[in-house]
Amino acid sequence: MMLEENANKLVSPGRGILAADESTGTMSSRLQGVGVDPSGEARRSYRANLFATPGCEAAVSGVILYDETIRQMMDDGTAVPDYLMAQGILPGIKVDTGAYPLANHDGEKITEGLDGLRTRCMEYFNLGARFAKWRAVITIADGTPSKACISANAHALARYSAICQEQGLVPIIEPEVLMEGDHDAARCYSVTAEILTATFAACEDQGVHIPGALLKPNMIIAGNDCAEQISREEVARLTLKCLSENVPQNLPGIVFLSGGQSDEDATAHLNLMNTMDENPSWQLSYSYGRALQAAALQSWASGTPEDSQNAFSHRAKMNSLARSGDWDDTLED
């Protein structure tokens, strides 16, 4: 089945996913943040340069695109999805329309975009996309997340997944427990377990084919404002434990989000998980955005296109090594 084949390609050894699906507003803000005029051409040029990094296909199996980007061209006039496919990289697409306030539940959000999703998926498949992403955001605070927030987001993730698979797209299921807050790692663990359990139960109800899907979860990390931060080793151990208890064994792979971690922490945590003798049935990989792009974007603004590609190539290589537990912090010098 093509869904299973593509899901396994995305988590093939030594490779992971580049999340380049920032919305037009977010990408413009990031360009402004490094002193670049946030025009449409600047967004296209930066991303085209990133995608054209020599040899990046050794570490990048797929690229998540935004609606604007999947319709754009490389510098030589080749459509972005066609260029990526020619490099052996699967094009993907963000299909949700954003997180909005959940009615009757202050401070909580529901991700929207189910209306018209089938039609959008058909169009994106015809444009070259072979996988998709939908992000739910779960906030930890006093009294939250509520059962309503967990239930609504789990149901939406399952419906999205079913529709994507119907249209030939591998769904990346992303229930992100945010790092904002003063909660400890134990609270992150319990909330992550709750949303994972609810999401996969909803997927079963909706008939989602798990061997043709991927999971993009957060790691088990204390909130940014928590006084007690745990070690890298403990992050890796608790994350694997939580996933082992709450994720189906027939899922092909887990592609972690970096979720506010530093570039090096995101790499180190993945590396540690791939050295632990837990024998998970899934591939442990990455679907990083800022943790792959931050240095590349800064170099693109202050240096040359080649400087930007070199910065991206370095971070991609580091995470590629982490896939097999072969990364070491001395390689960062």
Q: Where are the domains of the chain?
A: 2-332
Rounded Cα distance between 63 and 21, Å, is 8
Rounded Cα distance between 8 and 53, Å, is 23
DSSP state of 224: T
Rounded Cα distance between 181 and 210, Å, is 32
User: CB–CB of 256/217 below 8 Å?
Assistant: yes
Q: Is position 216 annotated as part of the catalytic site?
A: yes
User: CB–CB of 14/59 below 8 Å?
Assistant: yes
Rounded Cα distance between 264 and 103, Å, is 38
User: CB–CB of 70/91 below 8 Å?
Assistant: yes
As a whole number of Å, the CA-based R_g of the chain is 19
Write the Ramachandran bin of 259: left for phi over 0, alpha for psi from -120 to 50, otherwise beta. left
Is the entire prediction scored with pTM above 0.85?
yes
Encode burial over 131-163: b for 16+ CB neighbours within 10 A, e otherwise: bbbbbbbbbbeeebbeeebbebbbbbbbbbbbb
Q: What was the pLDDT predicted at 1?
A: 82
Q: What was the pLDDT predicted at 259?
A: 83
Rounded Cα distance between 138 and 74, Å, is 36
Q: Is position 174 annotated as part of the catalytic site?
A: yes
Q: Tell me the average confidence (pLDDT) per consecutive run of 10 residues in the chain, 333 residues long.
A: 96 97 92 90 94 97 97 97 98 97 97 98 98 98 96 98 98 97 97 98 98 98 96 97 96 94 94 88 95 93 93 96 95 86
Check 174, 194, 241, 264 and give the catalytic one: 174
Check 216, 241, 245, 278 and give the catalytic one: 216
Write the Ramachandran bin of 281: left for phi over 0, alpha for psi from -120 to 50, otherwise beta. alpha
User: CB–CB of 230/186 below 8 Å?
Assistant: no
User: Which CATH superfamily groups domain 2-332?
Assistant: Aldolase class I (3.20.20.70)
Q: Give the pairing of strands 109-111 and 99-101.
A: antiparallel
Neighbours of 13 (CB within 10 A): 10
Beta strand residue intervals within 30-181, DSSP E: 60-65, 90-94, 99-101, 109-111, 131-138, 170-177
Q: What was the pLDDT predicted at 314?
A: 96
Burial degree of 89 (CB within 10 A; 0-12, 13-18, 19+): buried
